[in-house]
Structure 1
Amino acid sequence: MKQRIQPEFEWVDQQAAASIRYLEHGYPSPLVRWHYHDEYELHLITATTGKVFIGDYIGNFSPGSLFLVGPQLPHNWVSQVGREEKVELRDRVVNFSPEFIRKSESVFQEMHSLASFWKRASYGIEFLDADKIQQALPLFEQIASSAGLRRLTRFLTLIELLASITEYRVLSSSAYVPIQDPKILDRLSQVFSYIFEHYDSEITLDEIAGHVDMSPTYFSKFFKKSTGQRFVEFVNGMRINKACERLAHTEEPITDICFTVGFNNIANFNRRFFALKEMTPSEYRKSSLGAWYKD
């Protein structure tokens, strides 16, 4: 019988004299496990292919895959290799603390331009620009072979490069909305709370618009402008993420999960699920065993 395991907390040995920690390891390794820590993690795959697990996201990785994982966000990379196969170098990892970022922002005004970058990182980022990833590789090498101020300057150059990448994927589900207006945020908070409470039943555009005293037409435009998503896309995304939780945490039949999270048609559920996760619900359930369960 499979037993659900929680992500392990990992203590990152960040030496007092160093702001940036570098490590590398092969596969298999004791470091390859479902875990989290208080630090940011910049993670470069140098060998093998397999499945990446970050928060509730499951995807694929291959040599050259590059990820940034925020503090306390569980993660794991599981390679698809032979039972006896060993890989000498699979991962290059750079860790740095949120405190380091905060202190840097208090001293260097230029660091404030990265605020949205760190916010995205809290949900995990996969960088997709192959040319800029190639530019990043020698910087990893230089960070690995240096220390002190030289390592720090190479790290800042690397972060500047990655923050400039416009081809990326935010991984774990989020309801983050990059808006500062408190009135808009309050209205959106009402909308999100209503959706979270009623996602498992039919929610119409007219119904939610009435809940926040807007006309359906105005609400539709307001929601798209504020979130970047159409209302129906957001609701379906919420339902799929809830389905992922049940697929990974329970042994409920997939058909039951479909109706429990608010879909009324199994074909539509399967189609929406594949569009968001690039795999079927049954494939997601099987894949989740690799990161989150043990015998």
Structure 2
Amino acid sequence: MKPVPAKILEGKENDVFDTKIVNSPYFSTLFHFHEECQINYVVKSEGTRMIGDSIESFSQDDLILVGSNIPHVWHNRKEYFIATENENQAKSVTLFFHPDKILKIISQFGNVKTLADFFQLSKRCMRFRGKTKLQIKTLLIQLADEVDVLTRLNLLTKILQILSETKEYDLLTGAGYTNTYQLKDNDRMDIILKHIFNNFAKEIHLEDVSEMIYMNKQSFCRYFKSRTQKTFVEFVNEVRVGHACKLLTQEDYRVNNLAYDCGFNSLSNFNKFFKKFKGLTPREYRGKYMSSSVRGHNL
């Protein structure tokens, strides 16, 4: 799945910012990147989210900031693609803004170091939580519905101020991540990633995937790691662990079923990879999530 360059703001709001509401059977964008930063709020939907070298499951109430020129895609679970046109199961509200152009405008009124530092940090990409998440999603929805230009500017300013001051976020991409995708790449990665996202709960054979793009195993492994900065096995198991994290947030889910429901062939193998990617055991992860949920309800 090669990321393609996208022109988001051309001809809109003087090329500085704009909003977009998606309400459809499924999210349909390709793996892509653009100069604009992007704040994406998932109102309804679930699947796998890939941003840079981060692979996680997503569901409703997911609020993410993607930095400038970081490849990304939200890919729904395969059952979404058999929905009829009347079954809108995927809804999101997104704000796009050009960081350099915003800094140039605001610099005419004062020091922009805090905001510039935040834009630099945003290239690590962020998942927001707590009061920040509530504030941003509320302002984001208001901004998407607003037509008055001055009111839109005011809402944008409030969002940027909250973002530049908050500590309620988790960084998604690795500190050393860089966008290594090249435009000369063909569509082979599209085929590979969609196959993994749709079939991670089953056994996926390296030979089968390499044959899909007419490569031998050795060439495929080199190609895949050069694009994703992960081995094929690491990538597939990280997708599975991401799905496991989503299941662990469901109170009625039985942890004993977790390994096999996520595509692992043994409980010990699952526990090993879960601890590797998350730094916690599945039960510790669930306990941490449940305790944080209780604190959230008490705020």
**Structure 1 residues 121 and 84: alpha-carbon distance in aligned structure 2, compared to 1, 3 A threshold:** same
**Structure 1 residues 248 and 165: alpha-carbon distance in aligned structure 2, compared to 1, 3 A threshold:** farther
Q: Give the aligned residue type for 1:132.
A: T
How far apart are residue 166 of structure 1 and its match? 1.4
Cα distance in structure 2, aligned partners of 1:124 and 1:250: 19
Choose 1 or 2 for highest CA Rg: 1
Cα distance in structure 1, aligned partners of 2:89 and 2:235: 36
**Structure 1 residues 250 and 140: alpha-carbon distance in aligned structure 2, compared to 1, 3 A threshold:** closer
Cα distance in structure 2, aligned partners of 1:76 and 1:88: 17
Q: Is the 8 A contact 1:25 1:88 kept in 2?
A: no
Aligned 1:54-203 pairs, distance under 5 A: 54-80=51-77, 81-85=79-83, 86-87=87-88, 90-129=91-130, 131-144=131-144, 145-175=146-176
How far apart are residue 69 of structure 1 and its match? 0.7
Tell me which residue corresponds to 1:32: 29
**Structure 1 residues 146 and 277: alpha-carbon distance in aligned structure 2, compared to 1, 3 A threshold:** farther
Q: Is the 8 A contact 1:56 1:241 kept in 2?
A: no
TM-score, normalised with respect to structure 2: 0.56
Choose 9-18 or 42-51, whichever is displaced more: 9-18
Cα distance in structure 2, aligned partners of 1:278 and 1:7: 33
Per the alignment, in what secondary structure is the counterpart of residue 21 of structure 1?
Answer: strand
Per the alignment, in what secondary structure is the counterpart of residue 170 of structure 2?
Answer: strand
**Structure 1 residues 30 and 50: alpha-carbon distance in aligned structure 2, compared to 1, 3 A threshold:** closer
Cα distance in structure 1, aligned partners of 2:27 and 2:59: 20
Q: Is the 8 A contact 2:47 2:74 kept in 1?
A: yes
Q: Give the aligned residue type for 2:171.
A: V
The one of 218, 238, 246 equivalent to 2:231 is: 246
Unaligned runs of 5+ in 2: 178-224, 237-268, 283-299
What is the root-mean-square deviation of aligned Cα atoms in Å?
Answer: 3.5
Verify: 1:6 aligned to 2:2, yes or no: yes
TM-score, normalised with respect to structure 1: 0.57
**Structure 1 residues 161 and 88: alpha-carbon distance in aligned structure 2, compared to 1, 3 A threshold:** same
Cα distance in structure 1, aligned partners of 2:271 and 2:142: 49
Q: Is the 8 A contact 1:58 1:277 kept in 2?
A: no
Cα distance in structure 1, aligned partners of 2:45 and 2:6: 24
Verify: 1:274 aligned to 2:277, yes or no: yes
Tell me which residue corresponds to 1:182: none
Cα distance in structure 2, aligned partners of 1:15 and 1:278: 49
Per the alignment, in what secondary structure is the counterpart of residue 230 of structure 2?
Answer: helix
Cα distance in structure 2, aligned partners of 1:170 and 1:35: 20
- Aligned-residue sequence identity (percent) comes to 22
**Structure 1 residues 158 and 278: alpha-carbon distance in aligned structure 2, compared to 1, 3 A threshold:** farther
**Structure 1 residues 17 and 49: alpha-carbon distance in aligned structure 2, compared to 1, 3 A threshold:** closer
Cα distance in structure 2, aligned partners of 1:162 and 1:116: 11
Q: Is the 8 A contact 1:48 1:63 kept in 2?
A: yes
How far apart are residue 12 of structure 1 and its match? 1.0
How far apart are residue 105 of structure 1 and its match? 4.3
Q: Give the aligned residue type for 1:138.
A: T
Unaligned runs of 5+ in 1: 177-239, 252-265, 280-295
Q: Is the 8 A contact 2:26 2:89 kept in 1?
A: no
How far apart are residue 250 of structure 1 and its match? 9.5
How far apart are residue 17 of structure 1 and its match? 4.3
